[in-house]
């Protein structure tokens, strides 16, 4: 999959990180995904594609509403990459 | 399912869940539970025996339902339905 | 994709590498972080990232509270604005007292 990004890492002269290469390294470990709205997900990253649609296992979905935090447990999901804002490797769950 | 640690790309996932019971959540929070009949690269989805849940409450049932991909937040393959 | 790869963007993110930048996102989220990397499509790697909390009633109003996110990847598709923090300061509204005096 992310073969193009790992190839680009080698080509890069400066020691700067490539975003998608970093996400590729997260495969198999926990990741925290912050969506555009008031939604966040924490789960184990299994894979992703060019659009950064993501396959996640053992997911906890958090929705922050004015009434408080709402959580949902999900086994295995394909998350649409369209509404992702940020990806946090390691993925601590939101504590509040 | 989560026992395997092999890399699974979105296309692998989609092949795996075809014909199985899924939950599809839309951006507006609506859930659709049913059998995944067919889908494409836009995440357009055709489902069978679909139940529509709004705010967790069953609102409607459809024999066949088509969901346009841009509204899809996620597709969930669940072995067991947790509540 | 391959055609785009060769194309240069007008963004000179290399100038801000290892500097703190402020990033605004489509949807209203806002963070600052130390720029560690970027790619052609504006995906960014930010370290020591702080997200500004938003007013629960008005998600486009920022509170002064922050939360720590650490190392993050920001999606290029969601990025709206990138600006170096150094050299930027928020000023009080210069017009607010004009009517009173």
HEC readout, B39-61: ECCCCCEEEEEEEEEECCEEEEE
Other CB atoms within 10 A of residue C21 CB = 21
**CB-CB under 8 Å, C59 with A18:** no
Name C68's bridge partners: C50
Name B33's bridge partners: B23, B51
Q: Is residue B57 part of a domain?
A: yes
Identify the domain containing residue A39 by its residue range: 30-89
Chains A+C touching (3+ CB pairs under 8 Å): yes
How far from B27 is each of A17, A27, C74, CA to CA, in Å?
A: 31, 25, 20
Four-way CATH pick for C15-82: 3.40.640.10, 3.30.1330.90, 1.10.3720.10, 2.30.30.100:
2.30.30.100
Number of domains in chain A: 1
Chains that touch A (3 or more CB pairs under 8 A): B, C
- From B10's Cα to the closest Cα of chain A, the distance in A is 6
**CB-CB under 8 Å, A58 with B70:** no
Chain segment C62-94, per-residue pLDDT in tens: 788 899 999 999 999 999 999 999 877 778 888
Residue-level pLDDT, tens digit, chain A, 96 residues = 444 444 444 444 456 789 999 999 999 999 999 999 889 999 999 999 999 999 999 999 999 887 888 899 999 999 999 999 999 999 776 665
Number of domains in chain B: 1
What is the domain-level CATH number for residue A67? 2.30.30.100
Q: Is residue B5 part of a domain?
A: no
Other CB atoms within 10 A of residue B70 CB = 12
Whether the predicted model's global pTM rises above the 0.90 cut:
no
Q: φ, ψ for residue C97 (rounded to 5)?
A: -95, -5
Identify the domain containing residue B38 by its residue range: 10-77
Angle of CA points C21, C81, C65, to nearest 5° = 60
Per domain, the residue ranges of chain C are 15-82
Burial C63-79 (b: 16+ CB within 10 A, else e): eeeeeebebbbbbbbbb
Chain segment C5-37, per-residue pLDDT in tens: 556 778 888 889 999 999 999 988 999 999 999
CA A63 to chain centre: 16
**CB-CB under 8 Å, A48 with B10:** yes
Q: At B76, is the pLDDT very low, low, confident or very high (cuts 50, 70, 90)?
A: very high
Cβ atoms of A96 and A38 within 8 Å: the answer is no
Window 24-83 of A: residues touching C by CB (8 A cutoff) are: 34, 36-38, 50, 52, 64, 66, 81-83
- From C11's Cα to the closest Cα of chain A, the distance in A is 15
Q: φ, ψ for residue B8 (rounded to 5)?
A: -130, 110
Q: Is residue B47 part of a domain?
A: yes
Chains A+B touching (3+ CB pairs under 8 Å): yes
In this prediction the ipTM stands at 0.83
**CB-CB under 8 Å, A80 with B9:** no
Q: Which of C78, C80, C82 to mutate to test the interface with A (most CBs of A within 10 A)?
A: C78
> Between B57 and C7, where is the model more confident?
B57
């Amino acid at each position: 999959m992310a073969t193009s990004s790992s190839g680009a890492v080698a080509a890069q002269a400066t020691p700067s990180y490539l975003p998608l290469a970093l996400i590729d390294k997260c495969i198999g470990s926990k990741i925290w995904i912050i969506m555009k709205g008031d939604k966040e997900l924490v789960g184990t990253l299994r894979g992703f594609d060019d659009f950064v649609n993501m396959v996640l296992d053992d997911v906890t979905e958090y929705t922050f509403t004015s009434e408080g935090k709402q959580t949902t447990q999900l086994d295995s999901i394909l998350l649409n990459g369209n509404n992702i804002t940020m990806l946090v490797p390691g993925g601590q769950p939101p504590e509040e | 399912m989560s026992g395997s640690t092999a890399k699974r790309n979105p296309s692998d996932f989609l092949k795996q869940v075809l014909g199985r019971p899924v939950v599809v959540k839309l951006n507006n929070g609506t859930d659709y539970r049913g059998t995944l009949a067919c889908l494409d690269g836009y995440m357009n989805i055709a489902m069978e025996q679909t139940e529509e849940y709004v705010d967790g409450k069953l609102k409607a049932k459809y024999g066949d339902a088509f969901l346009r991909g841009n509204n899809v937040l996620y597709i969930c393959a669940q072995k067991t339905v947790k509540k | 994709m391959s055609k785009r790869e060769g194309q240069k963007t007008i963004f000179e993110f290399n100038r801000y590498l290892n500097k703190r930048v402020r990033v605004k996102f489509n949807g209203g989220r806002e963070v600052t972080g130390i720029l560690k990397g970027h790619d052609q499509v504006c995906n960014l790697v930010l370290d020591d990232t702080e997200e500004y909390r938003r007013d629960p009633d008005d998600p486009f109003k920022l509170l002064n509270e922050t939360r720590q996110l650490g190392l993050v990847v920001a999606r290029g598709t969601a990025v709206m604005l990138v600006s170096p923090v150094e050299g930027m300061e928020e000023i009080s509204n210069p017009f607010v007292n004009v009517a009173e005096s």
